[in-house]
Amino acid sequence: MVESGQTVGLGTGSTVHFTLVRLAERVAAEGLELRGLSTSVETETKARALGVPLVTLDEVERLDLTIDGADEVDGDFQMIKGGGGALLREKVVASISAREAIVVGRDKVVERLGLGSLLPVEVVPFALPSVARALRALGCEPILRLREPAVAFLTDNANHILDCRFADGIADPRALERELDAIPGVVESGLFIDLAHVLVIGSADGTCEVREKPGLEAPFTFP
């Protein structure tokens, strides 16, 4: 998917690590010319160590492609992301991407979001108690993410994360995203609505299935 001359968003997590390694190999072996925009300090550190050229948001307005992972994705290409804590930066990068390619294992493809994964909600520390109450009113159980016992996890933006458990899953992800966005003190949620264009689904036997969202004007071509 990555072609020479592109500016590419680089997601966060264990899956994207292998993407970074492969891009670095292509830069060295093929002379691939690209610019990467990282979604976290972790990804930035790994990319620099591998020799992948990076830019910042000050330098780009639009990305040709972003490659990222997901905690869950449903049949409508809607996702839960943020297990690694980078949901805000990942959503910013996804929002300015012409294409978003999501790489997942087959177990991450689900019929209903929220049954197997908790939904991360990034919260300003001051507003943590009031946001937790508002989340409970929406029918979920919010759990403060910890870095270690009795020490709260902090995002790269110095915010907390409340991981939300929905007993029956999320029936209407689009409506829930709107409700979460309306809560004062919520910075961002891990619901990624209408942002994925391509799913790259890997299986345990090493095979890979590529699904493209219906209606793409210019589908990807593969060798």
Cβ 90 vs Cβ 12: under 8 Å: yes
User: Coil, helix or strand for 41?
Assistant: helix
Same-domain check for residues 182 and 197: no
pTM, two decimals, is 0.92
CA distance 83 to 68: 12
Same-domain check for residues 63 and 125: no
pLDDT tens column, 42-54: 999 999 999 999 9
User: Coil, helix or strand for 91?
Assistant: helix
Catalytic residue among 25, 42, 72, 90: 90
Active site residue 90: yes
Which residue range is the domain that position 68 belongs to? 6-107+193-203
Same-domain check for residues 103 and 197: yes
Same-domain check for residues 22 and 103: yes
Same-domain check for residues 30 and 100: yes
Q: Does some domain include residue 90?
A: yes
- Per-residue pLDDT tens, the chain, 223 aa: give them: 999 999 999 999 888 888 899 999 999 999 999 999 999 999 999 999 999 999 999 999 999 999 999 999 999 999 999 999 999 999 999 999 999 999 999 999 999 999 999 999 999 999 999 999 999 999 999 999 999 999 999 999 999 999 999 999 999 999 999 999 999 999 999 999 999 999 999 999 999 999 999 876 666 665 5
Same-domain check for residues 103 and 177: no
Q: Residue 3's closest CA among 69, 64, 68?
A: 64
Same-domain check for residues 95 and 131: no
pLDDT tens column, 65-84: 999 999 999 999 999 999 99
Q: Does some domain include residue 69?
A: yes
Q: Does some domain include residue 219?
A: no
Same-domain check for residues 66 and 83: yes
